[in-house]
Amino acid sequence: MTVRGPALDPRCRGGHPVWSSSGRQQSCSWIDRQGRPTSPPPLYPPRDSRYGPRTRKVELCIEPGQSLGLMIRGGLEYGLGIYVTGVDKDSVADRAGLLTQSRFKIL
């Protein structure tokens, strides 16, 4: 199911209200799949200064009836990249080595 709402101001990074260009107050919050408050992904992914940003290609093979086992958040409407917020244990994503806070790079 996809639920769409009005685009949030990209400054909306937590429960703090911001004012949109139309003069309306907006607020947003990030929650996990159990409905508990959680922090938004970082604006800039952490970098190891010795090696620079790490990018790797991951190919996922999903058989009929399998689920990806991956939760993502972010996107253009939030002014963020797309981040992994959860990986189900023993899922296709887990076996491929995807980790929480990984960021997708669309090629």
Domain coordinates of the chain in residue numbers? 68-106
Q: What is the pLDDT of residue 98?
A: 85
Q: What is the pLDDT of residues 7-57, one digit of tens each?
A: 545 555 554 445 555 666 666 677 777 888 877 766 655 555 555 556 778
Q: What is the pLDDT of residue 13?
A: 52
Helices (H), the chain: 92-95
CA distances in angstroms from 32 to 44, 70, 86, listed in the order given: 20, 13, 9
